[in-house]
A = this chain, B = another copy of it.
Amino acid sequence: MSTDGRVLRGEQTRATVLAHAMGIASVEGLAGLSIGRLASELEVSKSGVFARFGSKEELQLATVAAAREIFVERVVRPALESPPGLDRLWRLCDGWLAYSRGRVFPGGCFFFATAAEYDARPGRVRDAVAAALSAWGALLERTAEDARQLGHLESTCDSRQLAFELDAMVSAANARSVLHDDDTAYDLAETAVRTRLRTLATDPTTLP
């Protein structure tokens, strides 16, 4: 199939549309997406974009799915190169901070932006964003629990509580950095994560 020019162009159009849509959504929100706007800004036919996505909501859902793939590629997969344990937990947090700081999406974390936008608006878009954030929270918690069971963290450590706190720190850094154009928030978050993990680690020297 990939040698068929038409299909390739179709896939390229889809990728181009989604890349542009993710950028818009991270800055202005998912509500700012429309098939007409994307077609106009990308100078492609509106009917072509419509044929590929069908509706504004489908476009929004496809944009969330594409952002999730990028997040996994940038944050999750590199951390999973470490075996289960404390180092993997550290790398998840550190990778998240690098992902936000590096503006993989121009408006900072895609999910932070779109969750705040859709959190109080029930529907499929909110469900998709909530599912992505739940998966991230569950991964953090499972990784913390692995580290505890492996003896890397104190046996009394509450994995759910720790995952909540780590996520709170990195999210706050993203929020502050984007709002105030101030990158020092990432240093505060990194210090907070490191201090928290060192306090709970059975051997703090294993942390960077």
Contact = CB atoms under 8 A, between A and B. Distances in A.
A110 to B, nearest CB: 11
Nearest to A107: B120
B188 A119 contact: no
A108 B27 CA distance: 21
Contacts of A66: none
A62 interface: no
Q: DSSP majority for the A interface?
A: helix
B179 A160 contact: no
B29 A179 contact: no
A168 B31 CA distance: 26
A120 B180 CA distance: 9
Contacts of A189: 164, 168
Interface stretch (A7-15, A126-134, A148-156): A126-134
Interface string A94-113: 00000000000011100011
A107 B119 CA distance: 8
A115 interface: yes
Interface stretch (A36-44, A74-82, A169-177): A169-177
A180 B130 contact: yes
Interface size bracket, A side? 35 or more
A66 B39 CA distance: 39
A126 B172 contact: no
A105 to B, nearest CB: 9
Interface string A122-163: 000010011001100000000000000000000000001100
A176 B130 CA distance: 9
A134 to B, nearest CB: 7
Nearest to A120: B107
Contacts of A165: 169, 188, 192
Given A115-B179, A168-B172, A27 B120 contact: yes
Contact of A160 (B133, B167, B188): B188
